[in-house]
Amino acid sequence: MAARRGKKRALVAVGHSMLKSVYHVLSKEKVYRELGASYVNKRQGQKRKAYLKKELEKLGYTVQILKPAG
Q: What is the pLDDT of residues 6-27, one digit of tens each?
A: 889 989 999 999 999 899 999 9
Separation of CA 39 from chain center: 9
In this structure, the answer to whether residues 26 and 40 fall within a common structural domain is: no
In this structure, the answer to whether residues 58 and 41 fall within a common structural domain is: yes
DSSP 8-state class, residue 1: -
- Tell me the pLDDT band of 46, cut-offs 50, 70 and 90: very high
**Cα–Cα distance for residue pair 27/30, rounded to 1 Å:** 8
Is the predicted pLDDT of residue 2 greater than 70, yes or no? Answer: no
* Full-model pTM: 0.56
Residue 68 located in a structural domain: no
Residue 70 located in a structural domain: no
In this structure, the answer to whether residues 20 and 46 fall within a common structural domain is: no
Is the predicted pLDDT of residue 33 greater than 60, yes or no? Answer: yes
Range of the domain at 47: 34-62
Residue 54 located in a structural domain: yes
Q: Check residue 27 and give its pLDDT.
A: 94
Is the predicted pLDDT of residue 3 greater than 80, yes or no? Answer: no
Q: Check residue 45 and give its pLDDT.
A: 92
